[in-house]
Amino acid sequence: MDPEGPTGKLCNWVHSLTLMDIPSDVRTRAKYLLLDGIACALIGAHLPWSEKAANAIFEMEPPGDSAVFGWDRKLGPLSAALLNSSFIQGFELDDWHSEAPLHSNSILLPALFAAVEHLSNVGGPVIDGASFLLAYLVGLEVGPRVGNGLYGTHMLSMGWHSGAVFGPPASSTAVCKLMNLPASLIEDAIGIACTQACGLMSAQYESEVKRMQHGFAARNGLFAALMARSGYVGIKKVFERPYGGYLSTFGQGSGQDPPYLPDEITKELGSKWQTYGVRVKPYAAMAGTHCTVDCIRKLQEEHPEQMKDFESITSIRIEMAEAAYHHGGWKPTRPLTATGAQMSNAYVAATQLVHGQVLAAQFRHDKLELDLVWDLVNKTTCHHNTEFTQKAMQRATVTFRDKPTLTTLVDAPRGVYPPLTNEEIVGKWRSLTRDVIDDGRRLEIERLCLGLEDIKDVMELGRLMHGITKNPIA
């Protein structure tokens, strides 16, 4: 190990970090973020595409020792991590990072819970809530730092599914911390994880595999940590290798100068907390569509009657920054899957116009073919405004026949600046799970999650995620 290189510095920091090194407000915030991830897992477990994935994996994989969230089934740790991640990513309601886009809960929670159960079944120690929280926080910090080394949102513009690329080192370091591995083995795990990083953003148009790509990161990071624990040697100095290294390879063709930023991985390590950058979604759509929703909402609030006159609308123009444009500015066509609908700014704008909200119910299969929505989609165009250097900024302009043109500019959507409060996250948790699990189970999960440091065995919480949940859009 080179202790002065970015890989070595990161591994030594991960190994030495204690819960008391982390500011109390960061620890508190992490527990609320974790609660949001559990909500997304439980409502995602029985969505149609989740059930399709689950049944296929149940058919091909034997039973194991790691619980499948929202089901009375168990699989091996790797398959459980993959499937549970796809549930958390199942309906675009999960967290994302504002600087380096990745969905941390879908990467960390499946890997950590699978690791806890697997270790228990092979004679490992009981993992308490404080140790689990510390490992979770390690993952929250590592993923965005690795992403910033590749210019964060720019990876989306290049066509990579950024979270699936940034996620394997986050998952591997979190599980390594859970197992209290030394820095040398953490380096092995990161090397094994990084060589498995991948994810194509073309998955967003019609495929269901978009829901699963963060699961590849969760599974591969878990696999890397368990292999390193057994002594299997990974790639050393993977972040700084000039030939075939993680940054040098993914940075090729980036068009940036320099092509990658290795110092970002350890910049202000232990003083700047990336957990602050994790955002919680109020809408069931890709994060880059949220400012579109708020632009339309603002116009609806300011001009309620005019915005209801759909027949008079002749055009809707949405202007956005680079990453949002490349990610969601494409033109959708019929037929469209729920995945594609949730990734399209044009479709989401029409959804907000017609339904007045963008939540799970608006993406049911019977809602995706509404002629009124599609009429508005076909009147919508998206544009990259090169003057928008603030990543979240968007402008919407709605032109009418024989009525004044309406326009509004929103600097950042609800949930970004400012982020949702802890109280708002609890409100989201209660609202999402109200019709999915019973009241007693919901209250107990909330109590254990928000009091995580006091739990002697984190599987008190894990067991409450095991067992049948309901389909939220049935």
Domains and CATH numbers, the chain: 6-280+419-465 (1.10.4100.10), 287-410 (3.30.1330.120)
What is the pLDDT at residue 285?
Answer: 96
Q: How far is CA 238 from CA 160, 241, 339, 415, 454, in A?
A: 19, 6, 34, 35, 37
Of the candidates 230, 228, 118, 232, the one whose C-alpha atom is nearest the C-alpha of residue 183 is 228
The bridge status of strand 380-384 relative to strand 278-279 is unpaired
Distance of alpha carbon 288 from its chain centroid, rounded? 13
Reduce the secondary structure of 33-81 to three states and give it as a string. HHHHHHHHHHHHCCCHHHHHHHHHHHHHCCEEEEECECCCCEECHHHHH
Alpha helices in 45-182 (DSSP H): 48-60, 77-88, 104-121, 129-148, 154-157, 162-178
Write phi, then psi, for 380 (nearest 5 degrees): -105, 135
What is the pLDDT at residue 360?
Answer: 84
Which conformational region is residue 244 in: left (phi greater than 0), alpha (psi within -120 to 50 degrees), or beta? left
Of the candidates 221, 212, 175, 219, the one whose C-alpha atom is nearest the C-alpha of residue 194 is 221
**b/e map of 347-382 (b: 16 or more CB within 10 Å)?**
bbbbbbbbeeebbbebbeeebbebeebbebbebbeb
Which conformational region is residue 123 in: left (phi greater than 0), alpha (psi within -120 to 50 degrees), or beta? left
**What residues of the chain score a pLDDT lower than 70?**
474
Instruction: Report the distance separating Cα 126 and Cα 139, nearest Å.
Output: 20
Q: What is the pTM of this model?
A: 0.95
DSSP H or E run through 313: strand 313-320
What is the pLDDT at residue 157?
Answer: 92
Indicate the average pLDDT of the chain: 96
What is the pLDDT at residue 20?
Answer: 97
The CA-based dihedral angle spanning residues 203, 174, 126, 88, taken in that order and rounded to the nearest 10 degrees: -20
